[in-house]
């Protein structure tokens, strides 16, 4: 991993730690957009955060979990979770999607969350305890190296986190590794239109603002197909910047993984992080 990638990851971790501390200290309005407040202001807070959950869902959650929402969508609403399933949330933050998933899969199911930030993990565990859900496990780690065994998960969800990864092909490969054959992906993320280059994306927002590091629609589809997924779809839901959209990404893991190599993903490695 390059020094630049290390610095990007450290900055993302620092921003999320600040958000978690702000929620724990009783601050309001900290969940208004990805991990960069200036980016949220630029694109409009209604495109990120707690407003993307309906009133009924927010009513199922502790206030701190709602305040800590930094996503660009609502993956639980599109994941079609069933009783008894095992769900993994990549970049689980304050735990909003893990808690909602745990309620959907019920006591015979399990919801895992993985996050690299100690402050977010502590907040998520407090939120889960307050919500009274016991079928949850929050794990410390990075989404490029998921600390779960192969073929152990039925559904992978994520909310505006994959765009922040410094090694997206590794994330997609790890998703394919941990999912059982027939397992599925239901991800909300920021996605670029195919005509935008990495430099174009960097012009529209920072890496920490969930824009500069976003994959294009074509890159998402090719990347998932290369690691053994079929039925891949990327549906734009709302624009967050010119040519950049909140999107729902869905796919199903094939029974036999594809043998093709991973496509090269163009990264804005030299763009300013935040």
Q: Does the pLDDT value for residue 205 go beyond 70?
A: yes
For the chain, how many structural domains are there in total? 1
Check if the beta carbon of residue 162 is closer than 8 Å to that of residue 135. no
Under 8 Å CB-to-CB from 273, ≥6 apart: which residues?
Answer: 7, 8, 11, 12, 206, 207, 208
**Residue 200: inside a domain:** yes
Q: Name which of 268, 97, 104 is nearest 199 in CA terms.
A: 268
Q: Does the pLDDT value for residue 117 go beyond 50?
A: yes
Q: What is the pLDDT of residue 105?
A: 97
Q: CATH number of the domain that 18 lies in? A: 3.40.50.150
Which residue segment(s) compose the domain that 192 sits in?
A: 3-253
| Alpha helix positions (H), 68-216 | 75-78, 96-105, 118-131, 168-178, 198-204
**Residue 264: inside a domain:** no
Name the pTM for this structure: 0.81
**Residue 273: inside a domain:** no
10 Å Cβ neighbour count for 28? 10
How far apart CA 136 and CA 125 sit, in angstroms, is: 9
Q: pLDDT tens digits, residue range 42-61?
A: 444 444 444 454 444 545 55
How far apart CA 175 and CA 160 sit, in angstroms, is: 15
**Residue 259: inside a domain:** no
Beta bridge partners of 110: 86
**Residue 45: inside a domain:** yes
Check if the beta carbon of residue 245 is closer than 8 Å to that of residue 238. yes
Confidence band for 62, pLDDT divided at 50, 70 and 90: very low
How far apart CA 103 and CA 50 sit, in angstroms, is: 18
């Amino acid at each position: 991993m390059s020094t630049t990638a290390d610095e990007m990851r450290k900055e993302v971790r620092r921003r999320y730690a600040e958000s978690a501390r702000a929620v724990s200290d009783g601050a309001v309005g900290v969940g208004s957009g990805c991990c960069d407040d200036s980016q949220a202001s630029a694109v409009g807070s209604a495109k990120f955060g707690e407003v993307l959950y309906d009133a009924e869902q927010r009513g199922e959650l502790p206030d701190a979990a709602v305040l800590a929402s930094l996503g660009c969508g609502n993956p639980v609403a599109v994941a079609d979770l069933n009783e008894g399933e095992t769900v993994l949330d990549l970049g689980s933050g304050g735990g909003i999607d893990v808690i909602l998933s745990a309620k959907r899969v019920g006591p015979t199911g399990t919801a895992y969350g993985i996050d690299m930030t100690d402050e977010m993990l502590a907040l998520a565990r407090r939120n889960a305890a307050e919500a009274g859900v016991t079928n949850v496990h929050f794990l410390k780690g990075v989404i490029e190296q998921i600390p779960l065994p192969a073929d152990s998960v039925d559904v992978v969800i994520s909310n505006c986190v994959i765009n922040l990864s410094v090694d997206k092909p590794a994330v997609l490969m790890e998703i394919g590794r941990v999912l059982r054959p027939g397992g599925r992906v239901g991800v909300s993320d920021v996605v670029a239109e195919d005509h935008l280059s990495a430099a174009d994306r960097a012009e529209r927002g920072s890496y920490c603002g969930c824009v500069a590091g976003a994959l294009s629609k074509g890159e998402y589809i090719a990347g998932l197909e290369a690691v053994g997924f079929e039925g891949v779809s990327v549906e734009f839901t709302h624009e967050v910047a010119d040519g950049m959209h909140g999107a729902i990404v869905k796919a199903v893991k094939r029974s036999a993984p594809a043998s093709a190599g991973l496509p090269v993903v163009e990264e804005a490695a030299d763009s300013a992080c935040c």
